């Protein structure tokens, strides 16, 4: 039986997802800054010194790719791997709530005008949900079927940030990003290759300076 396949990578999905999140988060925060942290750039000594005294609430986002069974497939499948479930659990313990999103687009033309997205709250996932596939199909009431995982409205994201995100500074955040990356790859302690490959989140820094 053929496996579903995607036509984009996670980074391309991020380009569609992040503007939607930023628009909503700016209703609550005057400074909304998505970053994709590199240890030698955002995590450098210069960056840490530059942001001394700055405190941020942080939201983590894992982008998911829309997958199709065939060129003519009308449904979209969205998979949730062990790595993001483990990484999200670690983030939550550190005061960084983690969500995932997927643009519901079947090709580049739809992606370029996408106004339909799947958002999920990763704290609702457990080890039993590893490799869960959410199938979005017009013939199914997928929202009812997968209700326990879904973020129904982006207003709920504001509530998640308000209730779950703790303020952190840049020094702590970079350490936390490492822990999340290591946890997502199944490492219990620092490993020199933990930040290579695997699923990486975008982190959105939120502040009202």
The pLDDT of residue 199 is 86
Within 8 A by CB and 6+ apart from 139, the residues are: none
At 77, give phi and psi (nearest 5°): -110, 140
CA-nearest of 18, 81, 43, 11 to 177 is: 43
Beta bridge partners of 202: 61
Which DSSP letter does residue 117 get?
A: E
pLDDT value at residue 36: 96
Please give the pLDDT value at position 139: 78
pTM above threshold 0.85: yes
pLDDT in tens, the chain (209 residues): 679 999 999 999 999 999 999 999 999 999 999 999 998 899 999 999 999 999 999 999 999 999 999 999 899 999 999 999 999 999 999 999 999 999 999 999 999 999 999 999 999 999 999 999 999 998 788 999 999 999 999 999 999 999 999 999 999 999 999 999 999 987 655 555 555 557 899 999 999 98
Q: What local confidence, expressed as pLDDT, does residue 138 receive?
A: 80
Query: Half-sphere exposure (CA, 13 Å, Cβ side) for 2?
Result: 9
Per-domain residue ranges of the chain: 5-207
């Amino acid at each position: 039986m053929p496996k579903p396949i995607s036509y984009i990578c996670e980074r391309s999905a991020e380009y569609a997802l992040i503007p939607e999140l930023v628009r909503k988060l700016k209703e609550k925060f005057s400074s909304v800054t998505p970053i994709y942290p590199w240890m030698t750039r955002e995590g450098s000594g210069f960056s840490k010194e530059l942001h001394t005294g700055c405190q941020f609430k942080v939201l983590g986002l894992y982008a998911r790719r829309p997958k199709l069974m065939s060129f003519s497939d009308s449904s979209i499948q969205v998979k949730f791997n062990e790595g993001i479930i483990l990484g999200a659990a670690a983030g939550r313990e550190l005061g960084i709530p983690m969500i995932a999103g997927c643009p519901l687009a079947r090709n580049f033309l739809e992606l370029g005008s996408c106004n339909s997205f799947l958002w999920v709250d990763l704290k609702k996932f457990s080890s039993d949900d590893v490799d869960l596939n959410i199938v979005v199909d017009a013939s199914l009431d997928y929202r009812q079927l997968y209700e326990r995982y879904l973020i129904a409205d982006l207003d709920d994201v504001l509530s998640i940030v308000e209730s779950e995100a703790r303020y952190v500074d840049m020094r702590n955040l970079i350490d936390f990003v490492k822990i999340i990356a290591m946890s997502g790859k199944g490492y219990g302690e620092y490993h020199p290759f933990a930040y290579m490959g695997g699923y990486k989140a975008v982190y959105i820094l939120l502040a009202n300076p």
